[in-house]
Structure 1
Amino acid sequence: MGSGELSGRDVLASSVRGQGRRVAVSAALGSVHQLGEALVPVLIGVVVDQAVAGQHAGRLALWLAVLAALYVCLSWSFRLGARAGERGAEEAAHELRLAVVRRVLAPRGGAGTDRLSGELANVATEDAKRVGAVNMALMSGISAVVGIAVSAVALLLTSVPLGLIVLLGTPVLLWLGHLLSKPLERRSEAEQDRAAGAAGVAADLVAGLRVLKGLGAQRAAVERYRRTSQVSLAATLRAARAESWQTGLVLALTGGFIALIAWVGGRLALDGSLTLGQLVSAVGLALFLLGPLETFAWVNAELAQGRASANRIAEVLSAGPAVTGGDEPVPDAVRGELRLRGVRLGGLDGVDLDVPAGLLTGIAVTDPACAEALLSCLGRESDPESGSVELDGVPLTRLDPARLRAAVLVAAHDAALFEGTLAENVVPADTADDALTARALAAADADEVVRSLPHGAATGLGEGGRSLSGGQRQRVLLARALRAGPPVLVVHDPTTAVDAVTEARIAEGLREFRQGRTTVVVTNSPALLAVTDRVVLLDGGRVGAEGTHAELARTHETYRTAVLA
């Protein structure tokens, strides 16, 4: 499923086409089941007329055997059909989850720009599940149509008036059910939007729980989530009311329809137009019709919710990329020289900056927005509004984003740790014990973290590395960035949560480990800036000063204020 312009209808159609074989098989088996269910009252009527009324024991045994065989057939067809339908629904939901994840993780970005991570997770789980369930609804709807068609034919053969009532009344019921599903579709979409928003806020608050505790802002955070949750609850209740009204009205219409069939059948039996067996068959068929018609009510509700969820998935899949163009491969031999010319983005206001190849360069800022914009440009998460960024003289906009990020690794200070062991978070398990990994752990002072854990590097860190302290997390993240060994490494505030002694060790380890390779440290930490070859100060969105840390600390007041205050 591509990321071009998509509509909810496109998402639904693609989901069904992808499971076409399973939907066809499940619908065929479901139709056999409905055929068998419809034939049961017909055969009972035959038994009443030919065996019971005529008191033929042999015929009675024969027809009872036919009924038993029919029940075996409809039972197994239902089981196998439901299994194929459920598998189709689950496979479709799985494919949609993969499509959403691929779009979110696409090198050119854009899908998660205006959405919280919890909201995206909700789209990839609940919405994908609802769209996948449409495949099961289609199977049920097709088999219900077959059941009604068979019943109509049987009633026509029994009595033309009864058959015409079914043939003419069923389309009217379906049309009314479709009209009644419209409010449910609108409210279901609103419900999913609010639920996704609540999930996003919850994930955001959990991710920042330590910071909130440090600021003493737990009460404000709880109040924020309470308000969001109440809005979500109100939307859910509105959707539930719409669903209950829709289901209740459809069932009421269905009940009236069945009552009409039974009344007409009774009148025909009284005037002799129907035999006793035919009346039994007609009433049985009328009661059987309750099942397919109730199925239509359920199918309408599933389709309404599936359409709403498909619209939300389509919004993610068709989101425009954050960066465009750039298909050239990165040269095999990257020297690592970075050059910015007239770059404007966020807090950057026409920055001209040269980062020499093979040196350790520190960048201090007076405005954190400048740091965020610079990292976004270097990692090509965003392209400058004007100006250019070059790697070894080649504009980044010409290079393939995925290959570029392998050459220029931007290690954000708030990067994520994943479920798994410490070793698996630093490097793939098959190379977790090599000498380079040991050096990277030592350079980031993460070897001390390894020694403090009960099972060393094999210790599981839990979701998001929650078993580690803030300083330990930072050291593991830095070790991971160092172990990756890119030609150009850009790290942002890697030591904000460690003590001064540890920070000094990390600074020396970083310099030694990256000796001879281009490294950029975006930080206002004196300990880190002191080990750099040169420092650039970004002030007011432009380069305000350049030199060594010692020179700038001695001669530049703004630098002293930003770094030493």
Structure 2
Amino acid sequence: MNSPDLHLEPADGRTLLRRSITSQSRRMLGAGALTCGHQVGEAAVPLLIGVIIDRAVATGDTVALITWLGVLIANFAMLSTCGRLGFQVGFGASVNAALDLRVRIARRALDARGSSQAQLPGAMVSIATSDVRRLTAVHYQLAQGLAAVVGVIVAGVALLAVSLPLGGLVLIGTPLLLLAVRAISSPLEKRSSAQQEQAARAAGVATDLVRGVRVLKGLRAERAGSAQYHRASRLALGASVHNARTEAVYSASVIAINGCFLALVALVGGRLAMDGQITVGQLVSAVGLAQFLLEPMATFGAVFATLAAGRASAVRIAEFLNAPPAVTGGSAAPASANPGAIVLNDLHGPGLNGVDLKIDAGQFIGVLTTEPSAAATLCRCLGRELDPEQGEVVLDGQSLRDLDPARLREVVLVCPHDPDLFTGTLTDNVLTSAERDEDALHSALAAAGADQVASMLPHGLDSEVSERGRSLSGGQRQRIALARALVRDAPVLVLHDPTTAVDTVTESSIAEGLRRNRAGRTTVLLTSSPALLSAADRVILLHEGRIVADGTHAELMAQQSTYQEAVLS
């Protein structure tokens, strides 16, 4: 079922929740109607039992007994069917709404313009799973709530038929009961929001620590990482405990309120029976209806609790979806003539302080930065994940600010320092399209030294890679990722430290393969590796955010002490 309302302009949490409900309104109405049938059938059970007592048992009429027992059996069959189908349709509404939201979250996460509010991977997973689940649980609970209202009305009318005082008590007391339950649900919503936020932060920290466990071990920073997660998890635990206490108080309060109300109904009904104003069967029906009311009234509490958690999650989802893009503007396509000429004009940003640089099309250039932030900023600016604070980047005469980021990345491919691999075979991880070009594949594998990785695995290129490539060593992952970048054959390729986990001999072979594979196309290599820098046509040295030297690797090694220290450190 299409849900166009969900994909309109940005909305706050309340509006997002409303649109999500509206998008599944037909399913929810169907589920509500079926569940109402179930509730009517449940309410009819004590009435039918009372009728059987008054018209069959008390009179000894066998035919009446058989007839009304048949009606009771038919009623059970009806309420069972309605309950089962109502659950299926209501649950389907929740599932479809969750699918719509997760698709939208995935689109936002993959938006070519990025997001100005960086999210830890674990926090994004929490939003797409836990928060979506809490929000879409509202769909099912609202259908249950509608059925609970109908059940209370049916029970109230039935009690009016049995006795006006009993019916009046229920019809007057139920709205007051609802107001009381709603009033005590407000603290739960606040605590639920805080708990979800802390849980997402703990999940984000855990995910990042797992991803960087090798780095932590290399730096012997396991204790620092453990302490960081301990702090985050303790905050999450504290928020969860506070939330659990609030839920416990809320649940106990709802049960107490419901119990007092039902006790009052039973007390009034018993008094009427003692006075002879109602029959034995009517007394049984009244007590049965009073017990029946426990279920729909408990449902009211569940609906309000679910709404409280759903609204809190809707706010978090809306904040993620509405976060401004990291880069704005630009819809033009890159020029097709002489692709690959890059000019940096007075570039400012983290680690950069007025960089002016011209790179000719087809040039293989190395860039050595003495500040890590400078290399990261260059990568992000060249891939237009970030617009510079001042100055501009020009590709073939066009400012990157004027180009559509998605189209730009068809021409400029940036391979970050820590690229991820995915579950699948080696071939699946290297190829980037359904079309398989054997020559391009083997050329990229050889240039990156990834053919050696395949030869060491039991099934070669068909060997399975685990999630994030954890079944491979760091050097093997880097070579597979490099082959993946090379097989794209992009006009401009930007590589950031692609061989930090590779041994020296293999690194020298990769340097030769890179130069051979990228002949005639622009390549920007940000690295401090002497093997890779020696393969470049020219090398740029960035120190304190500025270009301080420009020449070949051999020239800079002979003339620049800063360059020597950076390469040999």
Q: TM-score range by the shorter chain?
A: over 0.9
Match for 1:49 among 54, 64, 70? 54
**In structure 2, C-alpha distance between the alignment counterparts of 1:549 and 1:114, rounded to whole Å:** 37
The one-letter amino acid paired with 1:93 is: A
Q: Name the residue aligned to 1:75.
A: 80
1:148-547 mapped onto 2 (5 Å cutoff): 148-333=152-337, 335-428=339-432, 430-432=434-436, 434-547=438-551
The one-letter amino acid paired with 1:72 is: A
3-state SS in 1 of match to 2:185: helix
**In structure 2, C-alpha distance between the alignment counterparts of 1:156 and 1:285, rounded to whole Å:** 11
**In structure 2, C-alpha distance between the alignment counterparts of 1:501 and 1:276, rounded to whole Å:** 96
Q: Name the residue aligned to 2:3.
A: none
**In structure 1, C-alpha distance between the alignment counterparts of 2:145 and 2:460, rounded to whole Å:** 57
* Contact 1:450–1:457 (Cα < 8 Å) also in 2: yes
- Give the Å deviation of 1:2: 4.2
The one-letter amino acid paired with 1:183 is: P
- Give the Å deviation of 1:386: 1.4
- Give the Å deviation of 1:431: 4.2
Q: Name the residue aligned to 1:40.
A: 45
3-state SS in 1 of match to 2:268: helix
Give the stretch that moved more between structures: 334-343 or 119-128.
334-343
- Give the Å deviation of 1:329: 1.9
% of aligned pairs identical?
Answer: 52
- Give the Å deviation of 1:118: 0.6
* Contact 1:2–1:317 (Cα < 8 Å) also in 2: no
**In structure 1, C-alpha distance between the alignment counterparts of 2:77 and 2:485, rounded to whole Å:** 63
**In structure 2, C-alpha distance between the alignment counterparts of 1:2 and 1:135, rounded to whole Å:** 18
Unpaired runs of at least 5, structure 1: none
**In structure 2, C-alpha distance between the alignment counterparts of 1:115 and 1:489, rounded to whole Å:** 27
* Contact 2:334–2:398 (Cα < 8 Å) also in 1: no
Q: Tell me the alpha carbon deviations over residues 250-293 of structure 1, each in whole angstroms, 9 at most, x when there is no partner.
A: 01100110111111111122222212222111111111000101
**In structure 2, C-alpha distance between the alignment counterparts of 1:491 and 1:523, rounded to whole Å:** 8
- Give the Å deviation of 1:333: 4.2
* Contact 1:423–1:429 (Cα < 8 Å) also in 2: no
3-state SS in 2 of match to 1:238: helix
* Contact 1:334–1:407 (Cα < 8 Å) also in 2: no
- Give the Å deviation of 1:334: 5.2
**In structure 1, C-alpha distance between the alignment counterparts of 2:536 and 2:207, rounded to whole Å:** 37
**In structure 2, C-alpha distance between the alignment counterparts of 1:281 and 1:371, rounded to whole Å:** 79
**In structure 2, C-alpha distance between the alignment counterparts of 1:61 and 1:224, rounded to whole Å:** 71
Match for 2:136 among 132, 136, 151? 132
3-state SS in 2 of match to 1:496: coil
**In structure 1, C-alpha distance between the alignment counterparts of 2:31 and 2:357, rounded to whole Å:** 63
Size of the aligned set, in residue pairs, is 564
**In structure 2, C-alpha distance between the alignment counterparts of 1:301 and 1:205, rounded to whole Å:** 34
- Give the Å deviation of 1:433: 6.4
Distance 1:476 1:126, change over 3 A: same
* Contact 1:334–1:487 (Cα < 8 Å) also in 2: no
- Give the Å deviation of 1:528: 0.8
Q: Name the residue aligned to 2:118.
A: 114
- Give the Å deviation of 1:432: 4.8
**In structure 1, C-alpha distance between the alignment counterparts of 2:363 and 2:186, rounded to whole Å:** 63
* Contact 1:417–1:465 (Cα < 8 Å) also in 2: yes
Q: Name the residue aligned to 1:95.
A: 100
**In structure 2, C-alpha distance between the alignment counterparts of 1:230 and 1:433, rounded to whole Å:** 52
- Give the Å deviation of 1:216: 2.1
- Give the Å deviation of 1:54: 2.0
* Contact 1:3–1:103 (Cα < 8 Å) also in 2: no
Give the stretch that moved more between structures: 547-556 or 482-491.
547-556
**In structure 2, C-alpha distance between the alignment counterparts of 1:364 and 1:422, rounded to whole Å:** 31
Give the stretch that moved more between structures: 332-341 or 137-146.
332-341
**In structure 2, C-alpha distance between the alignment counterparts of 1:187 and 1:454, rounded to whole Å:** 52
Q: Name the residue aligned to 1:7.
A: 12
The one-letter amino acid paired with 2:401 is: T
**In structure 1, C-alpha distance between the alignment counterparts of 2:99 and 2:242, rounded to whole Å:** 29
Would you say 1:548 and 2:552 are equivalent positions? yes
Give the stretch that moved more between structures: 425-434 or 489-498.
425-434
* Contact 2:338–2:361 (Cα < 8 Å) also in 1: no
**In structure 2, C-alpha distance between the alignment counterparts of 1:334 and 1:487, rounded to whole Å:** 9
Distance 1:102 1:430, change over 3 A: closer
3-state SS in 1 of match to 2:358: strand
**In structure 2, C-alpha distance between the alignment counterparts of 1:245 and 1:333, rounded to whole Å:** 70
**In structure 2, C-alpha distance between the alignment counterparts of 1:349 and 1:249, rounded to whole Å:** 62
**In structure 2, C-alpha distance between the alignment counterparts of 1:101 and 1:24, rounded to whole Å:** 28
Q: Tell me the alpha carbon deviations over residues 74-96 of structure 1, each in whole angstroms, 9 at most, x when there is no partner.
A: 00000000011112112222222
Q: Name the residue aligned to 2:27.
A: 22
- Give the Å deviation of 1:3: 8.0
* Contact 1:350–1:542 (Cα < 8 Å) also in 2: yes
**In structure 2, C-alpha distance between the alignment counterparts of 1:129 and 1:247, rounded to whole Å:** 21
Q: Tell me the alpha carbon deviations over residues 505-557 of structure 1, each in whole angstroms, 9 at most, x when there is no partner.
A: 00000000000001110111111111111111111112111111122222222
The one-letter amino acid paired with 2:45 is: V
- Give the Å deviation of 1:430: 4.6
